[in-house]
Homo-oligomer: A and B are copies of this chain.
């Protein structure tokens, strides 16, 4: 199975090794582009140690922005920005009580995802 135009300077090899049916199966197994971007966007939220620390804090109890900032030794602004990212990814939810806003975990996938990550790096 040759390339159609083997004179063009394409940065790939000349053969395809896999059988055509395997290739078809692989291509049909690929999710839509939109889903792929949603997935990578979600994992990008976990790709920052500050956000992971926030999630670990919220594993223990719901907490307001300023307490999270104090516990983690960071500014209120930095934490607020990251909480915004976590909330837009629907990983945390918020609840207002007067001037204070309390954040907590939105669902249980966070635990599973982080635990699987932990298992992987402890090998």
Contacts and interface: CB of A to CB of B under 8 A. Distances in A.
Interface of A: 11-13, 15-18, 22-23, 25-27, 29-31, 33, 35-44, 46-49, 51-53, 56-57, 59-61, 63-64, 66-67, 69-71, 75-77, 90-91, 100, 107, 109, 112-114, 116-121, 123
Copies of this chain, complex-wide, total 2
Contact of A76 (B13, B67, B90): B13
A31 B122 CA distance: 13
A1 B112 CA distance: 35
27 contacts: A11-B69, A12-B66, A12-B75, A12-B76, A13-B76, A16-B70, A17-B64, A22-B60, A23-B67, A25-B60, A26-B57, A26-B71, A29-B57, A29-B59, A29-B60, A30-B53, A35-B121, A37-B49, A39-B49, A40-B46, A40-B47, A40-B49, A43-B44, A43-B52, A90-B120, A109-B117, A109-B119
